[in-house]
Amino acid sequence: MKIYTKTGDGGETSLFGAGRVSKAHARVEAYGSVDELNATLGWAVANVADQQIGQRLEAMQHDLFALGAELASPPPPDGRRRPNTPSLPTARVAEMESWMDEADGELPELRAFVLPGGTPGAAALHLSRTVCRRAERSVVRLAEAEPVSEELVRYLNRLSDLLFTFARLENHRSNEPDTEWQKEPDGP
């Protein structure tokens, strides 16, 4: 099978079970943002030094495929059955919360905003966090116009919190202190 189909050359793409739409459609923007998030998580996995964080990020990558498939499968027109796509694990949000609680027990108390950065892994996690927030905004925008499961928004919201926590944890476990934001920074 060839990777190229030429069916999108006119600026349209197919949704699962719901025909073709413009590549600028809000649904395509939403699942495209989730795909971009997944790619940045792959970059983070390649850069984190902490094996536990890497394994947990890989679990999130699998989840994001399920989330993207749901976004690419709108409610079908004229009462047809929705295509069968993998489900987002229902317990994952609670699991992410427990991972954050576990990390918070290890991390120094957060007393100020921190600048994105630190180790290469932490910097990659901060980048993923910002892409996650953008994906969340895209999904919320879509949900304002079309039916979208509230669980998808909740998942992305919690994931961005987890990525921030993991960035801090990656720095902490690498003995790299977070750089706190200074309202009045010193010159170079």
Per-residue pLDDT tens for 138-182? 999 999 998 888 999 999 999 999 999 999 999 999 999 998 888
The secondary structure of the chain in percent helix, strand, coil, rounded to multiples of 5, reads 55, 5, 40
Reported residue count of the chain is 188
Percent of the chain whose predicted confidence (pLDDT) is above 70? 80
Query: Which amino acid, residue 136?
Result: E
Residues 10-69 have pLDDT tens digits of 565 555 556 655 545 667 789 889 999 999 999 999 999 999 999 999 999 999 999 988
d(CA 64, CA 141): 18
Query: Which amino acid, residue 186?
Result: D
Mean pLDDT estimate for the chain: 86
Of 69 and 93, more confident: 93
Is the CB of residue 30 less than 8 Å from the CB of residue 71? yes
pLDDT at 187 over 70: no
d(CA 100, CA 123): 18
What pLDDT does 12 receive?
55
What pLDDT does 71 receive?
86
3-state SS class at 184: coil
pTM of this structure: 0.86
What pLDDT does 83 receive?
60
Contacts of 164 (CB under 8 A, 6+ apart): 125, 126, 129
CB neighbours (10 Å) of residue 1?
Answer: 3
DSSP state of 76: P
What pLDDT does 27 receive?
78
Residues 105-135 have pLDDT tens digits of 999 888 889 989 999 999 999 999 999 999 9
Binning pLDDT at 50, 70 and 90, where does residue 6 land? low
What pLDDT does 72 receive?
82
Whether domain 30-71+114-179 has CATH 1.10.10.10? no
d(CA 64, CA 132): 11
d(CA 84, CA 105): 40
Give the residue carrying structure tokens 């006119």. 10
